[in-house]
Amino acid sequence: MAGCRGWVFCLTVCAVSLFEASAEIKVTIPVGKFFTYELLRETFQNDFEPLSKLYAGRLYDDPMIFKCNRQTFPDLPEWLRFTQRHPYDNGFLYGTPMSPGKSVIEIYAINKRSYEAARHILVIKATAEKMLPYQAEFFLKLREIEKVLPSSVQDEIKQDVQNLWDTEALEIVNITNALDRGGRVPLPLAGHFEGVYVKVGSEQYFSDCLLRVMTPEDQKQCRAGDKVKVPGGCNFCSIPSNCITWCKTELFDLTKQQPAPPAPTMGSGILEDDGDFNPPESPPSRDFFPDYIVTVIVPLILAIILCLLLAYIMFGKREGVEKRNARTNQIQLYHHHTIHGNSDELRSMAGDRGAPSPLSTLPMFNSRTGDRAAPLQSDSIPLIMAQHDPYSDTLPRK
Ligand SMILES: *[C@@H]1O[C@H](CO)[C@@H](O)[C@H](O)[C@H]1NC(C)=O
């Protein structure tokens, strides 16, 4: 019985490891060549509902989204990109490795109907290979990256370029979305596309057709912004959407490239011995007295002088109230006092409702003492002076 259990366990482990192995896909690709891997929804659909086709006879076509990353890393390797336009479309991993090495990519598919998830492993091994020395880049204006990545479309594009380059020995080196290179998101209308750059490389030197891109007159036309057509005899595009934008064609001759500058030589990281440290001499002493006089004493003296001047103007030139009163004639002083008294009276009345009625409304009174007097004993001083009064000489001049 125990042996039987052991066998069952062994079988299970084997089955699981087999299943795991089947979910691991290995590819070997050369460095410097374009790589595409299509994530087929069909394959993942089988993982989600492996038996529904057989038993229930039902075929699902679920929307799916993919998440790809390097194993134990949050992101994809630098050279690898992922794209999927819509959950009902297949996804693509694409890119061009630039250095040899192994990348383990985890692919998670999430079923948007049942929210099940499946995981596949893709092991990409990049092997060293010589770079193609002559490369050319074309811009396909009427394309979108997902439409170019299927291998059939890549072959169509390659065929056109083979005609243009006049050689069979061509490889696609890179395909990039124009949006990744600073292109604009197109309007969501028919006839507007994101645009795709396709880079192609070959061992053979550029054809005459390709070299015409470099001619001065072509470049001048392109700079002028005219709609430059592919020159006659060089137009090989059979499918309109695969036609290239002539002015955006670029040629790269890697054989002419400068060798990389030599790496800087590394030192030991320790500075050379320069003997003992000699502290600098202390600077000569400076006389700060003139500065002190200019900045402190002079303003202080000026301030004191101004103070004295102001004090003299404010106090020295003033006459006292008594002196002034003595020089003023009596009738004018009296006039002033009545004005003051009246305004005081008005002020006190304004502050209090129940104030007694003003003295001036009484039949007769002494304005100084408030005493009433007989009407006939009126003060001999008139309240308002006559125009020409005998005291006018004693009034202070102005
Ligand atoms: C391919 O294109 C991408 C995006 O422009 C760029 O980052 C990458 O270096 C290119 N690879 C090669 C081999 O030209």
Structural domain ending residue among the three candidates 81, 104, 127: 127
The DSSP bridge pattern shows strands 250-253 and 35-39 to be unpaired
With a 6 Å cutoff on the Cβ, whether 176 touches ligand 1 is yes
With a 6 Å cutoff on the Cβ, whether 254 touches ligand 1 is no
Give residue 96 CA to ligand 1 midpoint distance, Å: 7
Closest C-alpha residue for ligand 1 atom 1:
174
- 42 and 89 Cβ atoms separated by less than 8 Å: no
Task: Please report whether residue 150 resides in a domain.
Answer: yes
Task: Please report whether residue 63 resides in a domain.
Answer: yes
Residues 149, 44 share a domain: no
Inter-CA distances, 167 with 159, 163, 206, 254, Å: 10, 7, 9, 18
Task: Please report whether residue 359 resides in a domain.
Answer: no
Residues 104, 148 share a domain: no
With a 6 Å cutoff on the Cβ, whether 78 touches ligand 1 is no
Rounded Cα–Cα distance for residues 206 and 135 (Å): 8
Give the pLDDT of residue 384. 53
Residues 116, 69 share a domain: yes
With a 6 Å cutoff on the Cβ, whether 180 touches ligand 1 is yes
Structural domain ending residue among the three candidates 127, 152, 173: 127
Closest C-alpha residue for ligand 1 atom 9:
79
3-state secondary structure 255-307: HHCCCCCCCCCCCCCCCCCCCCCCCCCCCCCCCCHHHHHHHHHHHHHHHHHHH
Give residue 172 CA to ligand 1 midpoint distance, Å: 12
Task: Please report whether residue 266 resides in a domain.
Answer: no
pLDDT in tens, 126-158: 999 998 999 999 999 999 999 999 999 999 999
3-state secondary structure the chain: CHHHHHHHHHHHHHHHHHHHHHCEEEEEEECCCCEEEEECHHHHHHHHCCCHHHHHCCCCCCCEEEEEEECCCCCCCCCEEEECCCCCCCEEEEECCCCCEEEEEEEEEEECCCCCEEEEEEEEEEECCCCCCEEEEEEECCCCHHHHCCHHHHHHHHHHHHHHHCCCCEEEEEEEEHHHHCCCCCCCCCCCCCCEEEEEEECCCCCHHHHHHHCHHHHHHHHHCCCCCCCCCCCCCCCHHHCECHHHCEEEEHHHCCCCCCCCCCCCCCCCCCCCCCCCCCCCCCCCHHHHHHHHHHHHHHHHHHHHHHHHHHHHCCCCHHHHHHHCCHHHHHHHHHHHHHHHHHHHHHCCCCCCCCHHHCCCCCCCCCCCCCCCCCCCCCCCCCCCCCCHHHCCCC
The pTM is what? Answer: 0.61
User: Which atom belonging to ligand 1 lies closest to the Cα atom of 174?
Assistant: 1
Task: Please report whether residue 280 resides in a domain.
Answer: no
Give the pLDDT of residue 369. 66
Task: Please report whether residue 295 resides in a domain.
Answer: no
**Ranges 105-109, 136-140, 229-233: which has the least confidence:** 229-233
Which is more confidently placed, 106 or 385? 106
Residues 233, 153 share a domain: yes
Give residue 55 CA to ligand 1 midpoint distance, Å: 47
Residue 251 has pLDDT above 70, yes or no: yes
Which is more confidently placed, 34 or 355? 34
**Ranges 22-26, 62-66, 326-330: which has the least confidence:** 22-26
Give residue 34 CA to ligand 1 midpoint distance, Å: 10
Residues 149, 248 share a domain: yes
Give residue 58 CA to ligand 1 midpoint distance, Å: 43
**Could you tell which of 35, 78, 148, 176 is best to mutate to test the pocket of ligand 1, judged by most ligand atoms within 8 Å of the CB?**
176
Q: What would the mean pLDDT of 251-270 be, rounded to a whole number?
A: 84
Q: What would the mean pLDDT of 81-102 be, rounded to a whole number?
A: 94
Residues 111, 138 share a domain: no
Give residue 195 CA to ligand 1 midpoint distance, Å: 15
Residue 361 has pLDDT above 50, yes or no: yes
Structural domain ending residue among the three candidates 104, 127, 150: 127
Residues 397, 314 share a domain: yes
With a 6 Å cutoff on the Cβ, whether 45 touches ligand 1 is no
Residues 388, 316 share a domain: yes
Residues 250, 139 share a domain: yes
Residues 179, 146 share a domain: yes
Residue 228 has pLDDT above 90, yes or no: no
Task: Please report whether residue 371 resides in a domain.
Answer: no
Task: Please report whether residue 12 resides in a domain.
Answer: no
Q: Which residues does residue 104 pair with via DSSP β-bridges, in sequence order? A: 123
What average pLDDT does the structure give for the chain? 83
Residues 144, 121 share a domain: no
With a 6 Å cutoff on the Cβ, whether 145 touches ligand 1 is no
Which is more confidently placed, 192 or 390? 192
Give the pLDDT of residue 2. 46
Number of structural domains (the chain) is 3
Which is more confidently placed, 337 or 231? 337
Residues 251, 138 share a domain: yes
Domain range for 78 is: 22-127
Inter-CA distances, 255 with 172, 250, 319, Å: 18, 15, 107
With a 6 Å cutoff on the Cβ, whether 181 touches ligand 1 is yes
With a 6 Å cutoff on the Cβ, whether 172 touches ligand 1 is no
**Could you tell which of 31, 79, 200 is best to mutate to test the pocket of ligand 1, judged by most ligand atoms within 8 Å of the CB?**
79
Q: What would the mean pLDDT of 266-282 be, rounded to a whole number?
A: 83
